[in-house]
């Protein structure tokens, strides 16, 4: 019996020692330091290279010249000789106004001429004063001038070669102020764009621009700088530039939406892969991670133009720097990293 009790006590002691030993191992395991895994990234070296300074602009095509055809005074329209879409030549008859007032004035002038001839004879023999003679002469000259003006307004001619783009009256209507016709010159056409003041000294008359239009997909046209305005808009810091397009085939029409590209020469700038550029959430700022000696730094950059799968940088990264191109999602400023071989 004593032997059995002793055996049970030995078993219990062994179990207690085993339990104590297990707790010690667990505690030792729990306090052991865990080695942190550094983020894995890909990097690329970037360099300065010449970049064409091509800038894009938008605008609406305008006619080179736009003329509103209207008489100087109210009157009835006798006949309109053209329709919208008709091509017209400079000096071509477009509108004939009612000539009733012209007929009345013609009769008045004939009577004044007869009277003036009589006064002139009397003045020659001293039968009338010089004042009477001068008054009659002036009255006739005023009537003749009025006749000439009415004559010019009775037959309205086109002042340019162009195309009729608007007609606001019919035959027999009473002219009431709005233009009877609108004639526009569309060979050439022009486009106004607003260019940054940074390029003011680079824009020269005769410079070329490439034009594309939404209405004519797949086609490009060449325009020329025809006018550079001499002042800068203080609010926008831009200046207007007029581009002229020959438009010999008249494909381009006023009112079309156009895009213009102007090349201002080349400048040397750092170019980085587009995948290196990170957008900061909640802002329009862009950053890249610079890699150096096992660490990365978060650096703000100023983007220039996009170049296929790369960006021109206007500042923030030096020539020959190494940038992170993959793995940015797990990075923080100053983090240690591993570089993928």
> What are the structure tokens assigned to 107, written together?
């009769």
Q: Report the pLDDT value the prediction gives residue 219, as an integer from 0 to 100.
A: 96
Q: What is the band of 122 on the pLDDT scale with cuts at 50, 70, 90? A: confident
Q: Report the pLDDT value the prediction gives residue 32, as an integer from 0 to 100.
A: 53
How many whole angstroms from its chain centre is CA 7?
100
For 43, 287, 289, 329, the CA distances from 276, given in Å and listed in that order, are 9, 8, 7, 11
**pLDDT (tens digit, 9 = 90+) per residue, 27-49?**
455 555 556 789 999 999 999 99
Provide φ and ψ at 228, rounded to 5°: -120, 120
Q: Which fold has domain 41-51+268-339?
A: 2.40.420
**pLDDT (tens digit, 9 = 90+) per residue, 10-26?**
444 444 444 445 544 54
Q: Determine the average pLDDT of the residues in 53-67.
A: 95
For 158, 177, 178, 192, the CA distances from 63, given in Å and listed in that order, are 16, 23, 20, 11
Q: Report the pLDDT value the prediction gives residue 229, as an integer from 0 to 100.
A: 96
Q: Which fold has domain 56-62+184-264?
A: Elongation Factor Tu (Ef-tu); domain 3 (2.40.30)
Provide φ and ψ at 22, rounded to 5°: -65, -40
The residue ranges of every structural domain in the chain are 41-51+268-339, 56-62+184-264, 71-167
Q: What is the band of 141 on the pLDDT scale with cuts at 50, 70, 90? A: confident
Q: Is 71 left (phi over 0), alpha (psi -120 to 50) or beta?
A: beta
**pLDDT (tens digit, 9 = 90+) per residue, 183-224?**
999 999 999 999 999 999 999 999 999 999 999 999 999 999
Provide φ and ψ at 206, rounded to 5°: 100, -10
Q: Report the pLDDT value the prediction gives residue 1, as an integer from 0 to 100.
A: 44
**pLDDT (tens digit, 9 = 90+) per residue, 281-323?**
877 889 999 999 999 999 999 999 899 999 999 988 999 999 9
């Amino acid at each position: 019996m004593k032997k059995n009790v002793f055996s049970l006590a030995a078993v219990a002691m062994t179990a207690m020692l085993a339990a104590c030993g297990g707790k010690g191992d667990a505690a030792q395991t729990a306090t052991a330091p865990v080695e942190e895994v550094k983020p894995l990234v890909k990097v690329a070296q970037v360099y300065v290279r010449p970049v064409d300074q091509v800038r894009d602009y938008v605008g609406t095509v305008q006619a080179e010249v736009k003329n509103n055809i209207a008489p100087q005074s109210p009157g009835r329209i006798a006949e309109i000789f053209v329709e919208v879409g008709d091509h017209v030549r400079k000096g071509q008859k477009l509108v004939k106004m009612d000539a009733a007032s012209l007929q009345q004035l013609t009769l008045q002038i004939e009577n004044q001429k007869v009277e003036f001839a009589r006064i002139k004879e009397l003045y020659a023999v001293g039968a009338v004063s010089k004042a009477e003679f001068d008054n009659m002469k002036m009255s006739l000259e005023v009537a003749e001038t009025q006749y000439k003006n009415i004559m010019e307004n009775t037959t309205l001619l086109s002042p340019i070669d162009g195309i009729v783009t608007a007609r606001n009256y019919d035959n027999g209507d009473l002219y009431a102020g709005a233009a009877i016709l609108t004639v526009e010159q569309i060979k050439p056409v022009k486009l106004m764009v607003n260019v940054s003041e940074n390029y003011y000294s680079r824009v020269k008359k005769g410079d070329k621009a490439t034009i594309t239009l939404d209405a004519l997909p797949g086609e490009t046209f060449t325009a020329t700088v025809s006018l550079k305005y001499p002042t800068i808009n203080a609010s926008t810091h831009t200046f207007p530039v007029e581009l002229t397009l020959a438009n010999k085939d008249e494909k381009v029409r006023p009112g079309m939406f156009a895009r213009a590209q102007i090349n201002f020469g080349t400048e040397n700038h750092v170019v980085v892969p587009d995948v290196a550029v990170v957008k900061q959430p909640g802002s329009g700022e862009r950053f890249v991670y610079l890699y150096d000696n096992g660490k990365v730094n978060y650096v703000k950059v100023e983007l220039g133009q996009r170049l296929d799968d790369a960006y021109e940088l206007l500042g923030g990264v030096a020539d020959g720097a190494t940038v992170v191109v993959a793995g940015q999602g797990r990075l923080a400023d100053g983090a240690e990293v591993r570089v993928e071989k």
